[in-house]
Amino acid sequence: MAKLQLEAFLPYRLNRIAAAVSQDFRSVYGPHHDLTIPEWRVLATLGQFEQMSAKAIGRHSAMHKTKVSRAVRALEERRWLRRRPSEEDRREEILTLTAQGESAYRQIVPKALAFERRLLQQLGPDAGPLLAALRRLEAVLQVAGRAEDKRT
């Protein structure tokens, strides 16, 4: 039986890279805003789409519902997020950012974009082919998350 060389196995490599990038990116929003990774993802999703259910945030960000729930609770305790009943489904709540949440989001976004630019600059001419390969992988794996996949 052939042994799997984990360090060369694409799913393993993608997972490690994603974890490393996510942890490094935490330096952008963690120290000044004291956010966890799931809290940032909820904040960023609501900042982008303005309103969404917790279930839709989980689908969009590929986070487990317990992580989303904890992040929502933490952001609500900080008064960065508010809930209201869904008009379509009374079992769900629609989440939106408060003025404080929107302010934090606006402070973080320019730093986030600068972080992304630095990463892409470090890749140099390999950035374009990498981004194209990621788009193809998303299509092959039917990864949701684009604006047209938003569901409230």
Residue pair 128/38 in contact (Cβ under 8 Å)? The answer is no
Residue 20 CA to residue 26 CA, distance in Å, equals 10
Range in 52-56, 57-61, 74-78, 139-143 the model is least confident about: 139-143
Q: Average of pLDDT values for 92-115? A: 96
| Per-residue pLDDT, 147 | 42
pLDDT of residue 144: 60
Cβ pair 71, 58 in contact under 8 A: no
Among the ranges given (21-25, 109-113, 123-127, 145-149), the one the predictor scored with the smallest mean pLDDT = 145-149
Percent of the chain having pLDDT more than 90?
83
For range 132-143, the mean pLDDT: 91
- What single-letter amino acid sits at 40? W
Assign a CATH topology to domain 9-149. Answer: Arc Repressor Mutant, subunit A (1.10.10)
Q: What is the pLDDT of residue 142?
A: 86
CA end-to-end distance (rounded Å), the chain: 48
- The three-class DSSP label of residue 17 is helix
Q: Mean of the pLDDT values across residues 129-137?
A: 94
Closest to 18 (Cα-Cα) out of 124, 103, 143: 143
Of the ranges 9-18, 40-49, 81-90, 103-112, which one carries the lowest mean pLDDT score?
81-90
Return the pLDDT at 148. 42
Inter-helix orientation angle 37-49/65-77, to 10°: 80
CB-based burial, 95-122: b 16+ in 10 Å, e otherwise: bebeeebbebbeebeeeeeebeeeeeee
The tens digit of pLDDT for each residue in 1-16 reads: 999 999 999 999 999 9
DSSP-based three-state secondary structure for 16: helix
